[in-house]
Amino acid sequence: MAIPIALTLINFLHELFTVIWVGGMLLLVFVIMPILKKQFEGEKLQQINKKIQNRLSIFTYVSIVVLMATGLLLTKLTDPSGTSYFISFESTFATLLSIKHILFILMALIAIFRSAILDRIKGIEKKVSNKISKILLLSNVIFAIVVLFLSSYLGVIALL
C-alpha cells in the first residue's frame, strides 16, 4: 500500500511543478507581456519585465529541481529493474521519453541562460538582449507544449 501512495504523491508533485513552470511561461507570454506592452514603454517596461523575470525565475529553478527529483523517483519506483529509459532509443516508448527528457534539459538550460547569463554578457545591446530573451522564451513555450503532449501520449501508451 505504501508504494501506490508514494507513487501518487511523487507523480502529483511532478505534475504540480510542471504546471507551475509551464503555466508561468504561458501566463507571461499570453497575458502579462501583452498587457505590459500596452501600458508601459522604454526603461519602465524593462524595469517591470526584470522584476517579473526575477520573481518567476525562483519558481522556475525550484520547479526544475523538483521535476528532476520527482522524475528520478518515478523512474526508480516504476522501473525496479533499473533499465531506465532516461536516454534510450530501444523502443518507441523509450525514444519518445528520451525526446521528452532532452527537451526538458534544453528548457532548463534556456531558462538558466535567460535569467542568469544573458543580461551579463558584455557588449550586447539591451535591445538585442531583449529580442534574444523573447525568442528563447517563445522557444521554451513551444518545447513545453511538446513535452506536455509527449507526457500525455506516453501516459496513454503506458495504459494500453
Beta carbons within 10 angstroms of residue 70's beta carbon: 20
pTM confidence score: 0.88
**Can you give the pLDDT at residue 69?**
95
Task: Write out the DSSP string of 58-73.
Answer: HHHHHHHHHHHHHHHH
**Can you give the pLDDT at residue 83?**
61
Contact 79, 3 (CB under 8 A): no
**Can you give the pLDDT at residue 12?**
96
Contact 13, 66 (CB under 8 A): yes
Average pLDDT along the chain, 160 residues, taken 10 residues at a time: 82 96 95 93 87 93 96 80 71 89 96 90 86 94 97 88
Between CA 127 and CA 137, with CA 131 as vertex, the angle to 5 degrees is 145
CA distance 141 to 26: 7
CA distance 76 to 67: 14
Domain residue extents for the chain:
2-159
Distances 151 to 30, 101, 129, 140 between C-alpha atoms, Å: 23, 10, 32, 16
